[in-house]
Amino acid sequence: MDKSMVKNVAINFSGLVLPTFVSLVTVPAYIHLVGVERYGVISLVWTLIGYFGFLDLGMSMAAQHQISKAHAAGDPAQRSRVFWSAVWLNFGTGIAGGLLIYFGAFAYTAYFAHSEASMQHEVYLALPWLAIAIPLANVSWVFAGAINGMERFGVYNTNQTIGTFLFQLLPLGAAWLIAPNLQTVLAAAVLARLIAAVLLARASFKVLQIERVEWPQRGVAGGLFKFGGWMLVSSMTSMITDSLDRVLLGAHLGARFVTYYTVPQNLVTRLNMLPNALVRTLFPRLSAIRREDADGMVRKSLEFLNGVFTPIAIFAMLVLAPFLHVWVGREIAIASAPVGRILIIGVWLVGQASVTRIMIQSQINPATAARVGLFQLPLFVGALWLGIAHYGLIGAASVVALRSLLDYSVLLWMSRIHARPIALDMLTHLAFLLASLGVASAIDAIANPLRAIAAAAALASINAGWSVLTRPELRSIARGLLRKLSERVRGRANVPVKARRDA
């Protein structure tokens, strides 16, 4: 990858890392204030809102795709037309979704969620706020897509980080100062989303040099729908498969077990920050370059991701249990750590699959990636239902990991790149992860946290060393980092002691 790509990945990664620290602090506080069951209900409610992401109709990704092409062609007028067409379409569908969510949330709470009557009453009182959240989310996605389409990742991440901080802290403050119930928490969350939407809107106007409001144009809207329709199918199937485990756990076992599953899931999903940063960086660039250049970029990106992400996943797998013990207590740690370790493998595979998916969407045909998800969905539903029924939390996590492996394998084959060396590299790293899973299961990490940390450091170092020795791209990056570090150390040593003190 060239220097600009590495820089953009670093910017996107930083924008994903910073909110994580706030989340790590706020989750225990939420559970303490609202209780285990109510926190589980909040998670399920936001999952239901996520289902209404289909009302985006793929406009945000389609707008990003078209804006990146228009930017590469030097056509600001086309950028503006694409932007406003996507904004108005998403605003209209968002209003429709806000009305529909009354019925969806009511039906799920009344007939599927295992909650007490008082908890259901709190959900009903929160429904107006949930309805408002839909159009806010819809237009925010377009603003974000427009900024990323211009590859202004610093601008996007600054605004997104502020919005995420508000989304984590405002509801917690409202629960503490006003009342620890659902309607108060969700109302504060919607207020945070509103502030974040305003920030993104102002930033997108500035980046795209928007000077006036325009109405949607039929020709532009048609092009967005053509690309976005299949992107919608992909996002819908991904959204369903990503959240169905929690929904079915709630239906089978109740809200308490959703918390035991959601706490490690939310934690280990944060590991996907590096793949997400890479994907966010790659999509607009892949949309604007030639196919032969895209092939090389994807191969190097997957090598980079395998080499950097695997040591992180290995380390996380072995230190997960003691971290959960300190973070949320012994009870949740004992129930959640085995689930989280398996989910780490699933998250790692999802990161690999995401790179190949955007390659197909930007360079081949978004319909191809969408059909893969559609084919897998019924198989996943049946396997997940059986896994939960027979093995509970472990069954759900195992099915999720296996589905991720199947998804990656199919997408890699359909991306039409030379897959054999990539697949062999992936399988080697997967073997490291499975070995780490065995070690983590054998160690009582809660009782012996230092032993777990030592094993994590050793296995992660071995994996990182193997990657550097076998992959020229990673060797080059490592040499560059060592060279810069050495230059800084030498430059620091050459500065007189008095000058350093004055600085």
* Nearest residue to 150 (alpha-carbon basis) of 222, 227, 57, 80: 80
Residues 6+ apart with CB under 8 A from 240: 51, 377
Q: CB under 8 Å, gap of 24 or more: what pairs does 446-450 form? A: 446/321, 446/322, 446/325, 446/330, 446/333, 446/334, 446/337, 449/319, 449/322, 449/325
- For residue 361, the 8-state DSSP code is I
Q: Which amino acid is at 176?
A: W
pLDDT at residue 94, rounded to an integer: 85
pLDDT at residue 316, rounded to an integer: 92
* Nearest residue to 55 (alpha-carbon basis) of 154, 115, 113, 142: 142
CB 305 within 8 A of CB 9: no
Structure tokens that stand for 406 in this block: 């199947």
Write down the domain spans for the chain.
1-216, 230-490
- Rounded to whole angstroms, the Cα distance separating 136 from 196 reads 9
pLDDT at residue 348, rounded to an integer: 94
pLDDT at residue 445, rounded to an integer: 81
- For residue 364, the 8-state DSSP code is I
CB 230 within 8 A of CB 367: yes
Q: Tokens 């369903």 correspond to what residue?
A: 240
pLDDT (tens, 9 = 90+) of the chain, 503 residues, equals: 666 777 777 777 777 777 667 766 777 777 777 777 677 766 666 666 666 666 677 788 888 888 988 888 888 888 899 999 999 988 888 888 888 776 766 666 555 555 566 666 666 777 777 778 888 888 888 998 899 888 888 888 888 888 878 887 888 888 888 877 777 878 888 888 889 889 999 999 999 988 888 888 888 888 888 888 888 788 778 877 877 888 888 878 877 788 889 888 888 888 888 888 888 888 888 888 878 788 888 888 888 888 889 999 999 999 998 998 888 888 888 888 999 999 999 999 999 999 999 888 888 888 888 888 888 888 988 999 999 988 888 999 999 999 999 999 999 888 878 778 888 888 999 999 999 999 988 888 888 888 889 999 999 999 988 888 887 777 777 777 777 767 666 666 565 555 545 54
- Rounded to whole angstroms, the Cα distance separating 87 from 79 reads 12
pLDDT at residue 114, rounded to an integer: 55
CB 143 within 8 A of CB 202: no
Q: C-alpha dihedral over 498, 500, 502, 503, to 10 degrees? A: 170
Residues 6+ apart with CB under 8 A from 251: 112, 113, 114
- Rounded to whole angstroms, the Cα distance separating 139 from 144 reads 9
CB 149 within 8 A of CB 204: no
Structure tokens that stand for 144 in this block: 């974000």
CB 73 within 8 A of CB 64: no
Structure tokens that stand for 309 in this block: 């992400």
Structure tokens that stand for 477 in this block: 């990056």
- Rounded to whole angstroms, the Cα distance separating 470 from 306 reads 12
Longest dimension (CA), the chain: 73
- For residue 362, the 8-state DSSP code is I
User: Does the reported pTM lie above 0.85?
Assistant: no
